[in-house]
Chains A and B, each alone.
Chain A
Amino acid sequence: GQQLNQSPQSMFIQEGEDVSMNCTSSSIFNTWLWYKQDPGEGPVLLIALYKAGELTSNGRLTAQFGITRKDSFLNISASIPSDVGIYFCAGRMDSNYQLIWGAGTKLIIKP
């Protein structure tokens, strides 16, 4: 099935570093969502974006809805051990309730 292009696939960072990941699509979306999934759990919504150009923060997390409506970015500042997990982007067109998902970015924090 269709998936978004999410990169990087994985990241090894030191605690305290900032993290950036992004998603691109060949299709235009009207909603971009960012989720975090821990092992053995379902995805948990972090940030929802509904307007092109929108920049939204949730604590140390900041996400942006690209102007072209074909991409989105997630930044995590000053990473901490509990940030470890897999981050997914997901997009949705207004005409459709289905979410199209990226393959995930696995975040690993080096001790």
Chain B
Amino acid sequence: GAGVSQSPRYKVAKRGQDVALRCDPISGHVSLFWYQQALGQGPEFLTYFQNEAQLDKSGLPSDRFFAERPEGSVSTLKIQRTQQEDSAVYLCASSATGRRTEAFFGQGTRLTVV
């Protein structure tokens, strides 16, 4: 497709379960970002990839969160032993290179931990 694609759109997990969220960026986009958006709030930065290199993971809330982009295209955000406070919308964005190149966002994955 032409845009950033995320799957699944909705995920319900039992507390303690592991989940994997997928992001297909726009073809050829070098930069990929993950954001977490709590209900009624703006997105908050989680992590950033340039090609396959994870250059910044300072926003990951705990060591239960792990992201990868092994071939510099598709990315997966994994959350281990989910907790209720992990419930949020997880947004993926990708951008081309260039100083004034802004990112395009996917529709997000809404994760609900019960």
Q: Given A1-B59, A42-B107, are A97 and B31 also a contact pair (CB < 8 Å)?
A: yes
Do the beta carbons of A42 and B102 come within 8 Å of each other? no
A-facing mask of B81-114, CB < 8 A → 1, else 0? 0000000000101000000101011111000000
B100 partner residues in chain A, CB cutoff 8 A: 31, 48, 50
The count of chain A contact residues (Cβ–Cβ below 8 Å) is 24
Contact A42:B56 (CB < 8 A) given known A97-B48, A101-B42, A101-B43: no
User: What is the total number of residues of chain B having a CB less than 8 Å from a CB of chain A?
Assistant: 22
CA gap between A103 and B31 in the complex, in Å: 24
| Dominant secondary structure of chain A at its interface with chain B | loop
Which residue of chain A has its CB nearest to the CB of B41?
Answer: A103
Interface residues of A (CB under 8 A from B): 1, 3-4, 6, 31, 33, 40-45, 48, 50, 88, 90, 97-104
Partner of B42, one of A31, A41, A102: A102
